[in-house]
Amino acid sequence: MNSATKNLENDHVHILQLIEVMEQMVQLPDPNIADLEEVVELIRNFADGLHHAKEENFLFPLMAEKGFSLQQGPVAVMLMDHEQGRGFVRGMAENIQLYKNGQQSALNLVYANMQGYMELLSNHISKENNILFRMADNVFTTENHQSLLSEFSAIDAGSTSGNSGMDYVNRINKLANQYIKSN
């Protein structure tokens, strides 16, 4: 059965690939500013805009209907992580702008926010894949999964962001081809 949690785990593969790109970027003394801006846009529109929209608008409310609290416990922790991630992305974006305007020291803050985001999201994805999604799978019916998948497919098709999930995945792959050395 194709499950809603599998759809979210597939998104995670691409978000982790973007994190790998970021891991390479933070080692550069003179980064490509357009690529830094592309990372921020991909996080905002794919990781947060598309993926977190699926979780926050559909998965978590359904989990709440099944008895999971949105104020405490695993779902609440995931929501806090999402907010913390948005803070890191704001820090990246603001400091990229300062760096573009000639403030060299802002690059350290861009990288510090990238590091914070990478660490947060790596742990977050691990918790979702291994714990939260398994909990959801234990309580969701086949109908629940089908209903979520139909909601997710509308989001993946680009009905909310204007770009489809595949557009973002292609952009992530393009960055990965530039930054990640294949063995």
Confidence of residue 3 (pLDDT cuts 50, 70, 90): very high
Are 50 and 161 contacting, i.e. CB atoms less than 8 angstroms apart? yes
160 has pLDDT over 70: no
Which tokens hold the place of 16?
Answer: 């982790």
Give me the mean pLDDT over the 59-78 stretch: 96
Tokens 């020291």, located at residue: 105
The pLDDT assigned to 1 comes to 56
Give 112-150 pLDDT, tens digit per residue: 999 999 999 999 999 999 999 999 999 999 999 999 999
Q: What is the pLDDT of residues 146-156, one digit of tens each?
A: 999 999 998 88
Radius of gyration of the chain (CA): 17
114: number of Cβ within 10 Å: 24
Q: What SS3 class is residue 157?
A: coil
Please state, in angstroms and rounded to a whole number, the distance separating the CA atoms of residues 183 and 173.
16
Asked if the model's pLDDT at residue 183 lies above 80, the reply is: no
**pLDDT tier for residue 161 given thresholds of 50, 70 and 90:** low
| Domains of the chain as residue ranges with CATH | 4-179 (1.20.120.520)
User: Angle 68-90-128 (CA atoms, 0-180°, nearest 5)?
Assistant: 30
Q: What is the pLDDT of residues 29-56, one digit of tens each?
A: 999 999 999 999 999 999 998 999 999 9
> From CA 37, how far away is CA 40, in angstroms rounded?
5
Cα torsion at 13, 45, 172, 134 (round to 10°)?
0
